[in-house]
Amino acid sequence: MSGPAIGSRLRVRAPAKVNLTLRILERLPSGFHALETLFQAIDLCDSLEVEVRRESGVALEVVGADVGPADDNLVVRAARAWLAETSVEWGLAVRLTKAIPAGAGLGGGSSDAGAMLRVLDHWMPGAVAEERRLAIGAELGSDVPFFTGKGGLVLGRGRGERMTPLPPLPPAWLVVGMPRVHVATGPAYGRLARGRAESRGAVPPPLFDGESAVPRSWPEVASLALNDFEPVVAGAHPPIATALAAIRAQHPAFALLSGSGAAVFGLFTDADAAERAVGEARAACPESRFELARTLDRLPAVEPAGP
């Protein structure tokens, strides 16, 4: 199978996401939980630069953070899965520049993996069918399928592999709080399961029963904004609760935990109000990092890398 020339280089920004709503549903036969979520991409981004090289294999250089062994990195695992699927034998040199913190519920590692799959599809369009790319993504993590697509606002269901792109909402601004704690996804699911068992709480019903229920304005999103992880994760990690309270004190349209944490966010439809709010949150909660971000209509495009 033909492909790009040796030395070809592409780059792409890999954006973070927030979950505008996140509902954890029944446990599937695979042992994973079904979920229902509204993914929203934001302009806090890692970046990936990929070069085709003569030597086989995937070489990874990471700038800006220690993300552990290369063999465990989702970028490397995504590339290897794609190469195995296509039987392509050329190698890849990947430079990953990190800005999204790990273990924050912002999808940084998943976005990097999705960006890698999008780069490879850009070089060899259709070599791996879209359905198979989504399946590869779901095998890597529930957030990865979202990052293999193009849309900035997507309804995700199943394990995350059932993607329904939605029309973008008007631009909005977010105050993103990043407490200096790491929340592992597995223990977060464990806390949620124990909490439901102790309260004898039933598995909640889906929020979106058909496309007619999908919100089409920020007030509609605010009326549905919830995260099933928030009570148990914020309760177990006081810095998260403190950062969330600092944001809510600024009167956003709504504020939530993102994913299984540790990041939290508040959404504003006015840029000036959001800029004031990030300053107030930093002053009120100096032990956490707060950044201003904006929603994205689409995921960033893959581009040629300069010399």
Task: Convert the pLDDT of each residue in 122-142 to its tens digit.
Answer: 999 999 999 899 899 989 988
CA dihedral 132, 135, 139, 144 (to 10 degrees): 100
141 assigned to a ligand binding site: no
47 assigned to a ligand binding site: no
Mean pLDDT confidence for 48-56: 93
Please name the amino acid found at residue 114: G
The overall pTM is greater than 0.85? yes
Please name the amino acid found at residue 245: A
DSSP β-bridge partners for residue 155: 38, 164
Q: What pLDDT is recorded for position 210?
A: 59
Task: Find out whether the peptide bond into 262 is cis, omega within 30 degrees of 0.
Answer: yes
Instruction: Please state the domain extents for the chain.
Output: 9-166, 173-294
Question: Percent of the chain scored above 90 by pLDDT?
Answer: 67
Residue 26 has pLDDT above 90, yes or no: no
Mean pLDDT confidence for 274-286: 97
Q: What pLDDT is recorded for position 2?
A: 66
107 assigned to a ligand binding site: yes
CATH topology for the 9-166 domain: Ribosomal Protein S5; domain 2 (3.30.230)
Does residue 177 come out as left (phi exceeding 0), alpha (psi in the -120 to 50 range) or beta?
beta
CATH superfamily, with its number, for domain 173-294: GHMP kinase, C-terminal domain (3.30.70.890)
106 assigned to a ligand binding site: yes
Are 26 and 33 in contact by the 8 Å Cβ rule? The answer is yes
Token duo for residue 167: 């029309």
Show the CA angle centred on residue 3, arms to residues 76 and 130, nearest 5°: 65
**Backbone CA torsion sign across 297, 43, 100, 75:** positive
Q: How far apart are CA 177 and CA 195, in angstroms?
A: 25
103 assigned to a ligand binding site: yes
Which residue numbers are catalytic?
17, 143
